Structures are given as C-alpha cells and as structure tokens.
Amino acid sequence: MNKTSNHPGRSQDHGISESEIITFVVAPASDHASGLNLQGLVDLINKNSEFKIRIVFCKDYAEAMDALIKGKAKIGWLGPNAYHETSRSGRIEQFAIGLPKGKKTSNYQSVFIVRKDSFINSLEKIKNSRIAIGNQHSTSGYSVPKHELAEIGINLDNDNEFQKIIYSANHDESIRHVIERTADVAPVSSVNLEENIRSGNLDPSHIRIIHKTKDIPGAPLVFEKSLPDEIKNHIRGLVLNAHKTIEVGGYGGAMERYISPEEGRQKLLESYLRPQWGWRTIAFTGLFFFIVSLIIIDLEVKPLELLKNTFTYLADVLNRMLPPDFSGLPALISSMIETIEIAAIGTLIAVTLSIPVGIFSARNIAPNLLVFLICRVITVFFRAIPEFIMAMILVIAIGFGAMPGVLALGFHTMGFLAKFYAEDIEHVKLGPIEALNSIGASRAQCISFAVIPQIMPSFIGNNLYILDRNIRMATMLGIVGAGGIGYELQSAFRMFNYPRVSAIVIIIFITIFLIDLISSFIRKKIQ
C-alpha cells in the first residue's frame, strides 16, 4: 500500500512505490566485483530511504549499458569508456566519482604488465606476443591500450599482429593470464593491479610494468534520467556525504569520499597546475640557479643595471626610428624579392642534397655502417658551421652578391633537413617494409613505396619550416655581403638612417607574416 509523506526519501511523492526495488547495475571490473565494494553505500541509502536498492553485478559492460539505456536499471557504475558510449543515448547522467584514499584525483592509468622474467621490455616488443585484453567497452583494458599501440603502428584488432589474442572477462582474469603464462602481456587498470597487490592476491615481484598510459578520468556513478529528481537529489546527498558516517568503499577499495563531477574536474585541473616539488625538482632547480649565478659572476653582468640601461637606450633608438622612411619603396621591395629568391634557391639545394644524405643517415635504411657514418658526419659538419661563417668564406672566395648567400643557406640547412629526414625514417612503421621484403622487393622499391609515403607529410612540413627560416637568415646574410634586403639594412645602419631601418624592418615583418600564413595553409591541407 502506498503512503504519503514529506520525508525526502519517501517514495509516494516521486512516483516510486514503497515496494519497488531500484536496480543498481555494476560493470565487471574484476572477479565477482572484488575491489569494488559498493555495498556500504547501498546499505546507507536503504537505511535512510523508503525505497530499496539492489545491486546487480553484470557479466559484461554491454549488459550494464543496456540495462541503463532501456530503463531497467536506474543507477549504475560504469567505466569511463562505457559511460561515454552510454551517454550518447541521452539516457544517463553522472552524479558522483570516488576519490581513493591518499590520492588527489580520481584518475588512474592503464598499465601493461608482463612476467618478471619476460623478454618484453617495451611496447614495441609486444608484437607477435600473446596478449590478454579486456572487453571492447573497457577503458583501461581495451580502448586506451588500443590507442597507445596504434601510435607505434600496432593494431590491437589485427590477429596477424599477435601470436594470440586472449579476451578476458575482467582485469583480474587478464592478470591471471600473465601470472599463469597463458599470456605474455596484458593491459590492466592500475586500480585493479594495486588492489590485487594490496589484498595479497598478487606478488608484485612476479611482474613488471613496461608501460603506463596518461591519466584516465575516474569511473562515475550514474543515474538513468527518468528517475525522479527528488530521488536523485536524495541519493546524491547521501552518497556525497557518506564518508561522514561510514567507511566508504568503491573501485579499488577504500575511498576518501565521493565527490561531484564538478569537484572532480576541479581536482583534475589542480593536479595538473600544482607544482610537483619532489626532491629531484628542487635539486635540479637549485643546481640550475647556481650555474646561472656562476655565469653572471664570470661575465661580470649586473642584471639591474643592464635592464635599466637597455630600456633607456632602446627607447632612444626607437624614438629615432620613427616615423619610417618608405622613400624608394620599389627598390626595397626588389631587394626583398631578391632575399626570397636567395632563400628559395638555397632551400631547393638543401632539399635536393638532403634527401639521399638523410635516407642513408637512417639506421634502418643505410646499406652498411660505413655509408651510415659518412652521411652522419656530413649532416653534423654542415650543421656545425654557422651560415654567417660559411657566407663570409664564400664572399671571399667568389665575391659579393647572391651566390654566397644561396650556397651558405643550401649547405647549412641541408644538414638540418637530412637530420629531420633520418629521424622520421627511423620511426616509420616496419610492417609495409617487411611486407615488400617478403615478396622480394629491392631496397629502392622499399624506400619508394613503403618509406617515402609514410614520411611525406613530415617531409613537406619540414621543408616549409626551412624555407621560412631561410628567408629570415637570408635577410641577415645580406649584412656580410650576400645580397638582398640585408645589404640595404646594413647600409641604412652605417648611415645612421634609422627611419630607413624601421621601414626595412616593417617590410621584412610583413613578408615573413605572409609567408607564415601561406605555410600554415599548406600544412593544414597536407595533414
């Protein structure tokens, strides 16, 4: 029989019969929900409400998600990924997140574990191993590990990438697969791993962690939206204040308390903004300032006096540079165009020379050690000699004009581009190369069809960056006689024609700004 009451937990006012039982579904984090003790919260709610709540531990994520979407359950505990997927239905809303004891946020990680004696010591060596993974809706057991592996070119959904893929019901089962040697590696929740160690179910000396992911937001408690607002508010109030009356449990064992989603986001923000003043940070910070102090003393620098004089002299120079003198603007524009041409031809020379040098500077492509070392020496040599020195030598050798600037930029930036190409090639996915090798492809064919397509976006981006840099450097090279707008700038300085200097600086700025816009547009198109 239904009754009327003003008690906030009474059910008649909310359309809930006193005899009705509200179902609370729990996604499977571990064996029989070990390490996921929500019974204390349920008992507290049942004690202080006219309605009753029962916990249903689901066999998989899909069962919990389906119960909430169809309204069969009104409360649920879901993993972050399962929550994200279920929220697309518009049928649920989160209302609380557990804050573990001793932690500042509810965040956790996905950790890749192996046996202590395993040969696997990095994600790259997981390929062709036996891997135990969680349900496709599991955040730390599947979704996040899949993303991490994809970044190094390993597809978790491809059976051919692994000797065997074992699908586990929960994190505890994945851990057992590793311990019992039926799997070589398994990504599991850091919460479950810690709980297994804390409870004595796992000897930490038997395993190694080879990789930890970035922080994952904590798993939330959720309402099905059709639950009356007054009941939601009643339950929310009990859960958020439960720590005041009971020892709160949750995912991973004991909880400090449950917090609202808003507080959870604030704590996450604070955790990133808060300085991490460990002893290493303090030691290195102290060492840094000590070294800086020694340098200042050795150079006899007086920082305060330097700042005072700098601002004084800078203000005087800026005053003399105004207003800019744009007389003879066509000549200045012509010199700027010459500077762009010097940079463009220099970049073309750099790209042409750096392609073969860069390819054979990569350890995974070089035909032998001798070729690799020769190409590496070339890249280091030309990077080590500044453009100014190279331009001055070339001016002495072949005279004033554009050619010294072109060659200086071409040879110097060739060293940088070759280094960029080599590093990109050393990090390409090996799968396409191995596939071509397996059918008897030549080295040139492997480079053409497996390596170059992978590095092409980076190749174009690096070239655009070097072109941008070379335009700025070509301006400076004109000061040593290499032609272009730099020569006009030097002449203006020598004549103390500061208004002319400011006009040239403005032209240089506008040019670099426009080229930067064009480069950004091209980069967006190739990404």
Closest CA to 403 of 477, 508, 466: 477
Collapsing DSSP states into helix, strand and coil, what is residue 62?
helix
The per-residue pLDDT for 306 is 65
Q: Are 97 and 118 in contact (CB under 8 A)?
A: no
Q: Which run of H or of E encompasses 188?
A: strand 185-189
Dihedral sign for Cα 314, 317, 323, 325, please: negative
Strands, sheet with 220-224, edge to edge from the N-terminal-most edge strand:
52-57, 21-26, 75-77, 220-224, 92-100, 253-259, 249-250
Q: Are 239 and 38 in contact (CB under 8 A)?
A: no
Between CA 418 and CA 422 the distance in angstroms is 6
Task: Kindly report the CATH class assigned to 12-104+218-273.
Answer: alpha beta
Crossing angle for the helix pair 329-359 and 498-526, to the nearest 10 degrees? 40
Sequential DSSP letters for 302-364: -HHHHHHHHHHHHHHHHHHT-S---TTHHHHHHHHHHHHHHHHHHHHHHHHHHHHHHHTTSTT
Dihedral sign for Cα 86, 237, 265, 80, please: negative
Tokens 């800078």 belong to: 314
Q: Are 467 and 344 in contact (CB under 8 A)?
A: yes
pLDDT tens, position by position, 315-337: 777 787 888 888 888 888 888 88
- Cβ neighbors of 71 (< 8 A, separation 6 or more) are 91, 224, 226
The structure tokens listed for 303 are 């920082």
Between CA 150 and CA 127 the distance in angstroms is 12
Q: Which run of H or of E encompasses 187?
A: strand 185-189
Tokens 């398994």 belong to: 186
Among residues of the chain, what percentage have pLDDT more than 90? Answer: 17
Q: Are 189 and 110 in contact (CB under 8 A)?
A: yes
Crossing angle for the helix pair 329-359 and 485-494, to the nearest 10 degrees? 130
Q: Are 28 and 60 in contact (CB under 8 A)?
A: yes
The per-residue pLDDT for 93 is 92
The per-residue pLDDT for 30 is 60
Between CA 501 and CA 491 the distance in angstroms is 9
Q: Which of the listed CATH numbers 3.40.50.720, 3.40.640.10, 3.40.190.10, 1.10.3720.10 matches domain 329-526?
A: 1.10.3720.10
pLDDT tens, position by position, 387-397: 878 888 887 88
In this structure, CATH architecture of domain 110-212 = 3-Layer(aba) Sandwich (3.40)
- Whether the full predicted model's pTM is greater than 0.75, yes or no, is no
Residue 219 sits at φ, ψ, to 5 deg, of -80, 130
User: Do 110-212 and 329-526 fold alike per CATH?
Assistant: no
The per-residue pLDDT for 394 is 81
Bridge partners, residue 54, by sequence: 23
Question: What Å distances lie between residue 298 and 117, 291, 292, 302, 309, CA to CA?
Answer: 52, 11, 10, 11, 20
Residues of the chain with pLDDT under 70: 1-19, 29-36, 252-253, 265-279, 301, 303, 305-311, 430-431, 434-440, 480-483, 523-527
| Omega prior to 323 cis, within 30 of 0 | yes
End-to-end CA distance of the chain: 66
Query: For 243, which DSSP code?
Result: G
**Domain limits of the chain?**
12-104+218-273, 110-212, 279-319, 329-526
Closest CA to 502 of 321, 372, 373, 273: 321
Hey, how many other C-beta atoms are within 10 angstroms of the C-beta on 64?
26
Q: Are 67 and 76 in contact (CB under 8 A)?
A: yes
The structure tokens listed for 323 are 């207003």
The per-residue pLDDT for 223 is 94
Hey, how many other C-beta atoms are within 10 angstroms of the C-beta on 40?
16
